[in-house]
Amino acid sequence: MGKINKEWHRANKMPKNPTREERMLWHREHLKHCDCHPVTPKLQKELDEFLKGRMKEGEINGNL
């Protein structure tokens, strides 16, 4: 378990009843800004599939 980024967590709460897109985008940003816990293999697979699909749709990294 790594160190939690309290400021990031305070400013970026997971929405209540998030859509799959909201959840995936939140986790992607969480991975960039916080090291509070490792990514589970299930979540990593889900993120990979989600982001791969977004790239196929022609979206650029900055807009994901």
Q: Tens of pLDDT along 3-50?
A: 999 999 999 999 999 999 999 999 999 999 999 988 999 999 999 999
Contact 51, 28 (CB under 8 A): yes
- Is residue 59 included in any domain, yes or no? yes
pLDDT of residue 12: 96
* 50 within a domain of the structure (yes/no): yes
Q: How far apart are CA 48 and CA 54, in angstroms?
A: 10
Considering the domain boundaries, does residue 1 fall inside one?
no
Range of the domain at 18: 6-63
Tell me if 47 is assigned to some domain.
yes
The closest alpha carbon to 3, from 35, 31, 27, 38, belongs to 35
Residue 23 within any structural domain of the chain: yes
Is 36 within the bounds of a domain?
yes
Is position 46 within any domain?
yes
How many domains are contained in the chain?
1
11 φ, ψ to 5°? -85, -10
